[in-house]
């Protein structure tokens, strides 16, 4: 049954990608394919990165409502970015190659999030509501700090910053795309290698210790991997709050398995399918009347509310 | 042998254990009894390294507990905590398979499968091995988790109040199964029990704790008496002897 569902997912992704590349193309094919191919690659990459990060986060926190972005991960990325622009000025910022900036931001985010979330996860592992609230408050804190710094900087810096702080699915930088693809693939390889350990880590706080999989170390490694994935997706398209939640809850529905060897590939496929399919419908059918980010966030937000209400009533 | 020497533990400024000295002999069923808050679960979690040892020393088979790697410890000692909840839908067979993780690291070999089948058999889980945990009764679920810990094939097995929420039939069958399996395979089981009669009826040794200290230890026939109940549990109850075992009239 699982194999059949995987086949369907792969088939759907191939069809949607082919349509995305070819539908309504005018003019030179080589240009269209190159242009749209880049876009397709970035959508697949982001869909896969965000959904992997979400599944990983849900595994180490043992619940299926939290996502890295609800816990303020991408707000932290923006804060670091803002501080960097503030520190260097728009001129200085523009002179540093984008890829270098991205890598610096990545390292800083990894350090900051590991420090922050190991503290958070240590004390409040069992209290879900407190953890959600802490995360949301932290997210608001980071966003407010970003806003505060925006008041302090001059308009040209502000313009640089603003283009970096909104989700935008129709433009991605080619250099950045390449670096991101390499990073995401490396992360996926690392995640794949620890898939059995993830199965054990998902069993709770005590059983992993009894089975010899040190949860502290596991959580630390997973947090680092999440930081890389979140950095990539935020750097490429800006923050997307609920995409991960939408994809992860779809995945658990479609693939009812506890094997991360099944869940993770499915989540990557569904993540790509959601973004590419959504973009296809918006661009070709609805002719760009609503940005994809709005639609995804709206659906994902609904899923979040439904999950919270359902958890509350049981 | 598990050697516990001068172990003290505090949580949020409150003393949970003070200067515990205890030897847990190899083989058989050792029951940890005592009133609520005596520190039984804390002692167990320190031995299993679920909490960090604050002071004192614990040795397992002559090795300092702190020096043993996670992977090695998982092949010597398994613990089953009191509260067992699972968020995913795992089948009984898959759960028991997790018990082989310390050896297989997730890739089950033929020997692992053999042991899993054996354990499913001896815990009478064959019939329900494809059922998901959330569809089982409390007794069946406890049996499945215990089978998982058993499949870990460790010399020491620590169980924290496994009889919680079990009815009399499930409790008796779990206890007698553990007792006979421990005797057959020469393993050591340390079990925290609330009901003194289960301890007296099944255990080979009883260790009684009160207010963070070990009060007395020995075979049930020597330990359980009316004076013992008064001093450890602060209750006056009659103790009679039936089938060579002391029995508390509740």
pLDDT tens-place string over residues A299-310: 777 777 777 677
Confidence class for position B192, pLDDT limits 50, 70, 90: very high
Confidence check: pLDDT of A216 > 80: no
8 A C-beta contact, residue B193 and residue B171: no
Confidence check: pLDDT of B238 > 70: yes
Q: What residue spans define the domains of chain B?
A: 2-83+154-249
Cα atoms found within 13 Å of the Cα of residue A172, Cβ hemisphere only: 30
Q: How many CB pairs under 8 A join A and B?
A: 63
Contact check, Cβ <8 Å, B101/A206: no
Q: Nearest CA to A51 among A273, A278, A203, A293?
A: A273
What are the tens digits of pLDDT across the range A24-38? Answer: 777 777 887 888 888
Top CATH class of B2-83+154-249 equals alpha beta
What are the tens digits of pLDDT across the range B58-108? Answer: 888 888 888 888 888 888 888 888 776 665 678 888 888 888 888 888 788
- Closest Cβ–Cβ partner in B48, B75, B94 for A209: B48
8 A C-beta contact, residue B11 and residue B212: no
What are the tens digits of pLDDT across the range A42-60? Answer: 888 888 999 999 999 888 8
Confidence class for position A267, pLDDT limits 50, 70, 90: very high
Among A207, A254, A257, most B C-beta atoms within 10 A, so best to mutate, is: A207
In this predicted structure, what is the pLDDT of residue A170?
A: 56
Give how far Cα A122 sits from Cα of A64, A114, A168, A220, B15, Å: 18, 12, 35, 11, 22
B96: Cβ–Cβ under 8 A, 6 or more apart, which residues? B116, B119, B120, B125, B129, B144, B147, B148, B151
In this predicted structure, what is the pLDDT of residue A159?
A: 73
- Closest Cβ–Cβ partner in B70, B78, B98 for A203: B98
In this predicted structure, what is the pLDDT of residue B131?
A: 85
Q: CA-CA distance, B53 to B160, in Å (whole number)?
A: 18
Burial of B87 (0-12, 13-18, 19+ CB in 10 A): middle
8 A C-beta contact, residue A206 and residue B81: yes
Q: Mean pLDDT score of chain A, rounded to an integer?
A: 80
Contact check, Cβ <8 Å, A212/B102: yes
Q: How far is A202 from chain B (nearest CA, A)?
A: 8
Tokens of B113: 């499968």
Opening angle at CA A243, ends A242 and A249, nearest 5: 90
CB < 8 Å from A in window 95-114 of B:
98-99, 101-102, 105-107
DSSP of A147-201: HHHHHHS-HHHHHHHHHHSS--SS---HHHHHHHHHHHHHHHHHHHHTHHHHHHH
**Cα-trace Rg, chain A:** 19
**Sheet order of strands, B14-24 included:** B14-24, B2-11, B55-60, B63-64
Which of the pair, A24 or B208, is modelled with greater confidence?
B208
Contact check, Cβ <8 Å, B75/A212: yes
Q: What residue spans define the domains of chain A?
A: 50-313
A196 chain-B contacts, CB cut-off 8 A: 101, 105-107
Confidence check: pLDDT of A238 > 60: yes
Opening angle at CA B178, ends B177 and B184, nearest 5: 90
In this predicted structure, what is the pLDDT of residue B230?
A: 86
Confidence check: pLDDT of A314 > 60: no
Contact check, Cβ <8 Å, A206/B79: yes
Confidence check: pLDDT of A295 > 80: no
- The fold of A50-313 is ABC transporter involved in vitamin B12 uptake, BtuC (1.10.3470)
Confidence check: pLDDT of A131 > 70: no
pTM of the prediction? 0.83
Confidence class for position A124, pLDDT limits 50, 70, 90: very low
What are the tens digits of pLDDT across the range A179-203? Answer: 888 999 999 999 999 999 898 888 8
Q: Nearest CA to A205 among B146, B229, B168, B45?
A: B45
Confidence check: pLDDT of A98 > 70: yes
- By percentage, how much of chain B surpasses pLDDT 70? 98
Those residues of chain A whose CB sits closer than 8 Å to some CB in chain B are 62-64, 195-197, 199-200, 202-204, 206-207, 209-214, 256, 258
Q: Which residues pair with B80 in a beta bridge?
A: B159
Pairing of strands B2-11, B14-24: antiparallel
Beta strand residue intervals within A181-246, DSSP E: none
- Closest Cβ–Cβ partner in A63, A199, A211 for B87: A63
Q: CA-CA distance, B115 to B99, in Å (whole number)?
A: 10
Q: CA-CA distance, B86 to A258, in Å (whole number)?
A: 11
């Amino acid at each position: 049954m699982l194999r059949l569902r995987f086949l369907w997912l792969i088939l759907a992704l191939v069809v949607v990608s082919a349509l995305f590349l070819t539908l309504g193309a005018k003019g030179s094919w080589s240009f269209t394919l190159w242009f749209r191919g880049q876009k397709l690659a970035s959508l697949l990459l982001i869909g896969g990165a965000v959904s992997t990060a979400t599944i990983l986060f849900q595994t180490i926190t043992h619940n299926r409502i939290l996502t890295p972005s609800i816990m303020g991960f991408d707000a932290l990325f923006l804060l670091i970015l803002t501080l960097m622009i503030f520190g260097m000025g728009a001129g200085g910022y523009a002179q540093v190659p984008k890829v270098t900036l991205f890598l610096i931001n990545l390292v800083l985010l990894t350090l900051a999030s590991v420090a922050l979330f190991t503290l958070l996860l240590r004390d409040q592992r069992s209290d879900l509501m407190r953890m959600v609230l802490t995360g949301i408050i932290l997210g608001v804190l980071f966003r407010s700090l970003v806003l505060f710094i925006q008041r302090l900087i001059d308009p040209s810096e502000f313009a640089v910053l603003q283009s970096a702080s909104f989700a935008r699915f129709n433009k991605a930088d080619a250099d950045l795309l390449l670096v991101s693809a390499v990073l995401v693939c490396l992360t996926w390889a690392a995640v794949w290698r620890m898939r059995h350990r993830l199965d054990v880590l998902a069993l709770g706080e005590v059983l992993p210790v009894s089975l010899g999989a040190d949860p502290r170390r596991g959580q630390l490694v997973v947090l680092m991997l999440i930081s890389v994935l979140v950095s990539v997706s935020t750097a490429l398209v800006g923050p997307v709050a609920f995409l991960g939640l939408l994809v992860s809850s779809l995945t658990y529905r479609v693939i009812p398995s506890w094997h991360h060897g099944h869940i993770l590939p499915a989540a990557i496929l569904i993540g790509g399918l959601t973004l590419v399919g959504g973009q296809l419908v918006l661009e070709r059918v609805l002719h760009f009347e609503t940005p994809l980010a709005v639609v995804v966030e709206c659906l994902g937000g609904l899923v979040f509310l439904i999950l919270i209400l359902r958890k509350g009533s049981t | 042998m598990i050697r516990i020497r001068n172990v003290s533990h505090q949580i949020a400024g409150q003393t949970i254990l003070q200067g515990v000295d205890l030897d847990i002999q190899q083989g058989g069923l050792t029951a940890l009894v005592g009133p609520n808050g005596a520190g039984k679960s804390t002692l167990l979690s320190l031995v299993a390294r679920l909490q960090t040892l604050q002071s004192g020393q614990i040795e397992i088979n002559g090795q300092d507990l702190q020096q043993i790697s996670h992977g090695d410890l998982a092949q010597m000692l398994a613990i089953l905590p009191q509260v067992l909840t699972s968020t995913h839908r795992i089948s009984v067979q898959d759960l028991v398979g997790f018990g082989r993780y310390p050896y297989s690291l997730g890739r089950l070999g033929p020997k692992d499968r053999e042991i899993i089948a054996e354990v499913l058999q001896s815990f009478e889980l064959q019939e329900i091995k494809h059922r998901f945990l959330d569809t089982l009764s409390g007794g069946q679920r406890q049996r499945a988790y215990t089978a998982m810990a058993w499949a870990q094939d460790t010399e020491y097995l620590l169980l924290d109040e496994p009889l919680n929420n079990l009815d009399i039939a499930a409790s008796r069958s779990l206890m007698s199964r553990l007792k006979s399996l421990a005797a057959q395979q020469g393993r050591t089981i340390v079990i925290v029990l609330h009901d003194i009669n289960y301890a007296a009826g099944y255990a080979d040794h009883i260790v009684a704790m009160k207010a963070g200290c070990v009060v007395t230890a020995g075979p049930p026939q020597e330990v359980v008496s009316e004076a013992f109940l008064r001093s450890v549990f602060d209750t006056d109850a009659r103790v009679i002897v039936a089938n060579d075992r002391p029995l508390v009239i509740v």
